[in-house]
Amino acid sequence: MSYRELPADWTHEQVETFADNREAVDESLSLLGLILFSNELKDDTADAIKKPKAGDIRTVRSRATTPYAAASLRA
């Protein structure tokens, strides 16, 4: 987790424009700490995946490491 201070006089529109520029957002960040999430598979996960596959339905398990990783799986 990290942060970056933005100019206090920025308008909402300026913040939105800045937020849309991923490279700019990722520059000069100050690290606050690390966060670890652990999502263990449940005992019935394998069966839950097999059933849709048996019906020719594509299943995807997303382990997103960036905010945009899961979005790339929608295709």
What distance in Å separates the CA atoms of residue 49 and residue 58, rounded to the nearest whole number?
A: 9
Question: Domain count of the chain?
Answer: 1
Question: Residue 6 is part of which domain span?
Answer: 2-74
More confident of the two residues 69 and 3: 3
What distance in Å separates the CA atoms of residue 58 and residue 64, rounded to the nearest whole number?
A: 18
What distance in Å separates the CA atoms of residue 32 and residue 24, rounded to the nearest whole number?
A: 19
Residue 66 scores a pLDDT above 70: no
Q: What is the pLDDT of residues 10-63, one digit of tens each?
A: 999 999 999 999 899 889 999 999 888 777 888 888 888 888 888 888 877 666
All residues at 6 or more sequence positions from 35 whose CB lies less than 8 Å from its CB, including other chains = 1
Q: What are residue 30's DSSP bridge partners? A: 3
Residue 57, phi-psi category: left (phi > 0), alpha (psi -120 to 50), beta (remainder): beta
